[in-house]
Structures are given as C-alpha cells and as structure tokens.
C-alpha cells in the first residue's frame, strides 16, 4: 500500500545505469561532477515485513488494482496535470462507508475494491491491521492515519454504524450542530491537526441537506536513506509534454538503487527511513509519454515491474518540487462501479433508515514536497452524505374523464383544449 501511494506521483528523473543486462536501456555516461553517494546510510534497524493473512494479501492486491484504476481515471481527466492522489486515504474512507451501505451497494463496492469473498468482519479487520501496521513499520518515519465521523445533531444514525467504525477504524465520532459556523472550523482544524497543518481546509460550508461527513487523513514525512547534496542541486531544463523547456531546481546524485527498464519505462525506487517506505518513480522510455504509461499500467503490470527491480548504480537527476492538488472523486468512483452510493433509495440504510440518504460528494486534497532531505506528503478525503427530497412516485391514472389541452409553453397560448369523457 505504501508503495502504491507514492508511485502515483509523476515526476522527471534522469537515470544512467551500468549493466550488461539485455533488458536494461543504456544511456550516456553520467556527469563526472555528480558525486557518488556512499551506499551505506546511517545504521538503523531494518524494517520487518508486514505480515498479512492470505485473504488480506489478496485484498491488498485488490487495493493496488483499484489504485491504478483510480489513477487512470484521474490522470486521463481534463484536470490531469500534476495529479497527485491518495488511494489509501480514499479506500479507508470508503471502508467506513461500506459499513453503512445496503447489500446491493456493498456488492458494487466489494467488486470495485477487490474484496473477494471476505466477510464484513474480515474487511474491517483488514483495514484495521493495515492501518496499525503502516503506523508501526518505520519508527524513522512520521506517519498519521486518522478517521473521523461528523454527524448533524439530531439525525437518527444507527449506533452500530458508529460502533463498528470506532472499533476498527479508531474513528472519532462527533455529533454537532451543523448550523453553527464553528462546526466548519472544528472539521477543518481536525484536518489541519492530523496533517501537520499541510491541509487546513477541506470544507468551506455545510449545505442544509448535509447530515454527515466521513473523513480520513493521512500524513507522511520521512528522510531519504541516501539524501541529495544541496550543493549539487542546479538549475536544469525540464522538458514538458509539448516540448517546452522549463528551468527547475534539479537534484543530483549517484548511488545504488533498485532499478528496472524495458521498452515502455524506466523505474527507480528511492528508499526512506528504515527502507519500509520508498518513492518509486516511473519514467516513460524514449519515444513514450506519461499518457502512454497511464494507459499501460495496471495492477498486474505494476507487480511485474516491482518483481524485476534489481540494484544498479544509477545517476539520478530529480526535480525538487512542492505542490497541492484538489479534486472531486464522484465521477472516478462512480465510473469504477460504485454508483448506488450516490443514489437515494435506501442504499445507505446501514447508517440510518432514511431512503433519502446518499453520498453527495467525495473530495480529496493532497500536498507533497520533495527536497534533498526527503519527502513530506498529506491527504484528506471527505465523504459528504446528505438527504435528498426523494419521495415515492405519486400515481396519475387517467382512467376516468379528464380535460386536456395543447399549448405553447413560453407564452402560455392555448392551441387546443378539450375533454375526454369516453376514449
């Protein structure tokens, strides 16, 4: 999961590899002025692998497939430039929502999220295990995964929905007056606190129809195992998709990294902390574009790339950057098969016995900063749930005498009028 989260950042990297492997694409010799970084970082306790059950491992594979499908949706949208999303944050929030979905809506969610034949309890235990494991796997990395539920005071939520999400997701539950301006501040302050002030506003108003917010926050900060030397950061050209050159601060180093290349891409993995986490960067091969990679990559291809990584001596040029990204995920989530959660009619009856209940929006904001020392990243996902003016259809049965007319609507002019006593 952690690798998936960071592999979704598309950036520029220059690689030089010394190898006789026939699968490796060779490049020119590295600039001799780029310093070679010693391959032994400061000693630290090596990361212990996270142990999952067979079913949990299958679910994680499903999460990875969903992550790439989601990224494909986002990275091919109109607002695709510099797209940066957190599949982990979204799936955690959807995991909480799953506990309030109807059987039909759960079936759609289970298919999209690769839940297989896991029971409801096994699904919740999976997210609980994953959350705890990610928080504990690297003491050198600062990480937060937090969940909360904010409910309109007086709305009749089923207590089992609260209890399950408290138990498995450690969700903080707040029943609060949505009409008070201070409620907006309380929600935003919670997000700021959980993301080290990197995401300080996730909502700027509460609609009258809103009755609940499900929120997940993820925060990550860690140092490179092999940091870049600031003195070697130089202004260099970044070639954009249209061929335009832009001057950027480019970091430089030579070190041994897990690396792979084929006709479609180059891949490098730069580890953090005790090497439990890493940033994996995928660079289009010569003649290919990022759009080509977006189409090419999926869960299976991703697994193949990871299985072929081998340590190589690599000359790295990598841009220093900082960015924020914001998007609504209604369309991507719906396109991936979860349509019922957006429709009223009892699809969220695990939250309340209210046929008007539906997800009105799924919004995510992200932040990332990459520099010579390491990476800081944050995400907040908020699922807004509201009530609609949904009512059962009224009956209009023209099975008795009636009057009828033909008119022009804009003026109201009546062209014909009559009565029907006996069809």
CB 1, CB 50: distance < 8 Å: no
pTM recorded for the entire structure? 0.85
Q: What is the mean pLDDT of residues 106-126?
A: 95
Q: What are phi and psi of 135, to 5 degrees?
A: -75, -25
pLDDT for 386 equals 95
pLDDT for 411 equals 54
Residue 39: pLDDT over 70: no
CA distances from 17 to 12, 14, 36, 258, 264 (A): 16, 10, 13, 11, 16
The residue ranking higher by pLDDT, 187 or 276, is: 187
The residue ranking higher by pLDDT, 383 or 285, is: 383
Residue 81: pLDDT over 70: yes
Superfamily of domain 1-392: Antithrombin, subunit I, domain 2 (3.30.497.10)
pLDDT for 90 equals 95
Ranges of each domain in the chain = 1-392
The residue ranking higher by pLDDT, 240 or 419, is: 240
pLDDT for 391 equals 45
pLDDT band at residue 414 under the 50/70/90 scheme: low
DSSP for 364-392 reads EEEEEEE-SSEEEEEEEEEEEEEE----P
Residue 407: pLDDT over 80: no
Residue 6: pLDDT over 90: no
Average pLDDT of the chain to the nearest whole number: 84
In whole angstroms, what is the distance from residue 387 CA to residue 385 CA?
Answer: 7
Q: What is the mean pLDDT of residues 323-332?
A: 94
pLDDT for 417 equals 56
pLDDT band at residue 49 under the 50/70/90 scheme: confident
Residue 194: pLDDT over 90: yes
Q: What is the mean pLDDT of residues 324-343?
A: 95
Residue 36: pLDDT over 90: no
Residue 9: pLDDT over 70: no
Range with lowest mean pLDDT among 2-6, 13-17, 279-283, 311-315: 2-6
Q: In 3-state terms, the chain is what percent helix, strand and coil (to 5)?
A: 30, 30, 40
The DSSP call for residue 232 is: G
The residue ranking higher by pLDDT, 260 or 401, is: 260
pLDDT for 404 equals 55
- Tell me which residue of 229, 221, 220, 239 sits closest to 316, measured CA to CA: 229
Q: Percent of the chain beyond pLDDT 90?
A: 58
């Amino acid at each position: 999961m952690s690798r998936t989260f960071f592999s979704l950042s598309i950036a520029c990297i220059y690689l030089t590899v010394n190898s006789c492997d026939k699968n490796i694409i060779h490049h020119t010799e590295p600039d001799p002025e780029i310093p070679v970084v010693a391959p032994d970082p400061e000693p630290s306790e090596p990361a212990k692998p996270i142990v999952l059950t067979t079913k949990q491992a299958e679910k994680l594979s499903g999460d990875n497939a969903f992550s790439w499908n989601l990224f494909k949706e986002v990275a091919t949208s109109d607002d695709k430039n510099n797209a940066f999303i957190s599949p982990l944050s979204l799936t955690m929030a959807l995991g909480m929502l799953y506990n309030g979905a109807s059987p039909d809506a759960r079936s759609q969610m289970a298919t999209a999220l690769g839940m297989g034949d896991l029971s409801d309890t096994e699904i919740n235990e999976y997210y609980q295990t994953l959350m705890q494991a990610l928080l504990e796997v690297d003491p050198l990395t600062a990480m937060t995964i937090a969940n909360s539920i904010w409910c309109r005071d007086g709305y009749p939520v089923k207590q089992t929905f609260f209890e399950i999400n408290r138990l498995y997701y450690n969700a903080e539950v707040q029943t609060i007056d949505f009409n008070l301006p201070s409620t907006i501040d309380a929600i935003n302050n919670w997000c700021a606190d959980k993301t080290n002030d990197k995401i300080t506003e996730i909502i700027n108003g509460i609609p009258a129809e809103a009755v609940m917010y499900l929120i997940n926050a993820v925060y990550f900060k860690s140092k490179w195992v092999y940091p870049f030397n600031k003195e070697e950061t130089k202004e260099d050209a970044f070639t954009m998709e249209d061929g335009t050159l832009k001057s950027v601060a480019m970091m430089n180093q030579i070190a041994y990294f897990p690396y792979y290349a084929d006709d479609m891409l180059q891949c490098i993995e730069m580890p953090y902390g005790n090497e439990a986490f890493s940033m994996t960067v995928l660079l289009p091969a010569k003649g290919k574009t990022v759009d080509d990679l977006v189409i090419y990559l999926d869960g299976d291809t991703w697994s193949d790339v990871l299985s072929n990584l081998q340590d190589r001596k690599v000359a790295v040029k990598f841009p220093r950057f900082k960015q924020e990204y914001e998007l609504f995920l209604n369309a991507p989530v719906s396109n991936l098969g979860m349509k019922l959660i957006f429709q009223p009619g009892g699809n969220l009856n695990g939250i309340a016995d209210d046929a008007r209940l539906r997800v009105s929006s799924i919004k995510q904001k992200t932040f990332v900063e990459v520099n010579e020392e390491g990476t800081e990243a944050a995400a907040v996902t908020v699922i807004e749930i509201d009530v609609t003016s949904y009512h059962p259809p009224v009956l209009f049965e023209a099975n008795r005498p009636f009057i009828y007319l033909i008119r022009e609507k804009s003026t109201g002019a009546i062209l014909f009028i009559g009565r029907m006593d006996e069809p």
